[in-house]
Amino acid sequence: MVKKSKDQEGFSTEEKIKAAARVVFTQKGYAATRTRDIAAEAGLNLALLNYYFRSKEKLFGIIMEEKVQQFFGFIMPLINDTSTTLQQKVERIASKYTDLLSENADLPFFILSEIKNNPAFFMKITGKGNFLSKSVLIRQIREKVPGRNPFHYLINLLGLCVFPFIMSPVLQKMGAVDEKMFAKMMKERKTLIPVWIKTMLDSA
């Protein structure tokens, strides 16, 4: 059996801690999480966790940055793509968010909860707050519906994409849908959401 080098062992331990932190922070949120909870989830002692990450704050910063990148990362180049029409952007946002959240159902709960609790940290990660206002997507909406605040349509688009996943546990608990039916509905919404947004824009 080949022995791992110290660097390999360190990398393995670090990744194990980060994997555990993703689970615990997502389940409990930042405020309710203790470093000993993460250590227990990772199957490591607390001293080893502190050796690698020093503090809960530092570890949370790493995980939050990963989650924000996962949730918003794809949208940045997409909304500033000068080669696609407004309708194409809407179609791609609906498709990508549906796929992403179908695979990561807890992601919106984590992101929205932590943004609410610590908006300054979110702004630090994402950079300047006016990136949306200056985007090609917003310009295209303004051109399509001059005189209307374009963020009405962006909020509607993101709400249609994200809110069903937030409601999913409630709907399933009430017996309104089961897991299989919900997955089928989300697949259908990839086509329906762009139609609904187009209708809003055309009827403005």
Q: Residue 117: which pLDDT band, with cuts at 50, 70 and 90?
A: confident
Q: Residue 4: which pLDDT band, with cuts at 50, 70 and 90?
A: very low
Q: Taking each helix axis from N to C terminus, what angle separates 86-103 and 136-144, rounded to the nearest 10 degrees?
A: 130
pLDDT digits (tens, 9 = 90+) for 25-81: 888 888 889 999 999 999 999 999 999 998 888 898 888 888 888 888 888 889 999
Are residue 12 and residue 106 in the same domain, yes or no? no
Across the chain, mean pLDDT equals 87
Residue 165 lies in a domain: yes
Are residue 36 and residue 124 in the same domain, yes or no? no
Between 148 and 6, the higher pLDDT residue: 148
Are residue 184 and residue 158 in the same domain, yes or no? yes
- What does the block give as tokens for 134? 């200056």
Number of folded domains in the chain?
Answer: 2
Distance CA 184, CA 103 (A): 14
> Among the three residues 60, 81, 100, which one is the final residue of a domain in this structure?
60
Are residue 150 and residue 117 in the same domain, yes or no? yes
Distance CA 65, CA 125 (A): 6
Between 129 and 108, the higher pLDDT residue: 108
Cβ–Cβ < 8 Å for 76, 68? no
Q: Which domain holds residue 32?
A: 6-60
Are residue 92 and residue 192 in the same domain, yes or no? yes
